[in-house]
Amino acid sequence: MIEVINLHKSFKTKQSSLEILKGLSFKVEKGQIIAITGHSGSGKSTLLGLLSGLDKPSSGQVLYNQKDIFSMPFKEQNIFRAQNVSLIFQNYYLIPHLTAVENVMLPLQILKLKNAEKEARFLLDEVGLSHRLDHYPGELSGGECQRVAIARGLVTKPLVLLADEPTGSLDSETGEKVMSLYFQLVRKHNLTSVIVTHNEELAAKCDHELKLHQGIIHS
């Protein structure tokens, strides 16, 4: 499903070049849930940015079903990403002036797909929030916000769900409940997932754990 080949990422600062990822190679098979762990600053979010195609590598490739996302023309890459890759963040990134159902409808509206409201309601029901459709993010708990974000991630029927510290802002009990739902939905919809996490318990529940240390992967 996803193949990472000799991925390098450096950031140029005024004085020098900072090499964060030093040639990563790994595969994620369809249906797998992979954890990426490592110290703060080890490059986990940088790696997720590359997997999502939001950021560009210094060198190396990210293949989705054998197709290199960075060799696609810009427009094609944007469409590929919108249709196939969803991202979940520690801080949810919901739009504050849109209700739960409007937040979940948004990706479908951007893709000009039909039945946005119906699909959004269906997904919010799947994440157990059919009683919170018209609430704004400020009127929802952290766990509820993350469930809205999961619904928004799933509504486009992507191939891949990427999550960056999805439990980082939740207490441990809420985090566990949200991730139990996450796992259930990834399996049900036959998705592939990469989860960046500090949480060792969560990492242990994944199919594999890749440890990022000093720019190299240790599995």
Ligand X SMILES: Nc1ncnc2c1ncn2[C@@H]1O[C@H](COP(=O)(O)OP(=O)(O)O)[C@@H](O)[C@H]1O
Side-chain half-sphere CA neighbours of 173 within 13 A? 0
Cβ atoms 70, 56 nearer than 8 A = yes
Q: Which does residue 42 touch among ligand X, Mg ion, none (CB within 5 to 8 A, set by kind)?
A: ligand X
Rounded Cα distance between 195 and 76, Å, is 25
Q: Which does residue 138 touch among Mg ion, ligand X, none (CB within 5 to 8 A, set by kind)?
A: none
Q: Which does residue 175 touch among Mg ion, ligand X, none (CB within 5 to 8 A, set by kind)?
A: none
SS3 label, residue 63: strand
CB of 18 to ligand X, least distance (A): 6
CB of 62 to ligand X, least distance (A): 15
Q: In the complex with Mg ion, which residue's Cβ is closer, 23 or 168?
A: 168
SS3 label, residue 158: coil
Cβ atoms 72, 145 nearer than 8 A = no
Size of the site for Mg ion (CB under 5 A): 2
Q: Which does residue 46 touch among Mg ion, ligand X, none (CB within 5 to 8 A, set by kind)?
A: ligand X
Q: Does 45 bind Mg ion (CB under 5 A)?
A: yes
Please report, as ranges, the residues that interact with ligand X according to CB under 6 A. 11, 18, 20, 38, 40-46
Side-chain half-sphere CA neighbours of 177 within 13 A? 11
Q: Point out which residues bind Mg ion (CB under 5 A).
A: 44-45
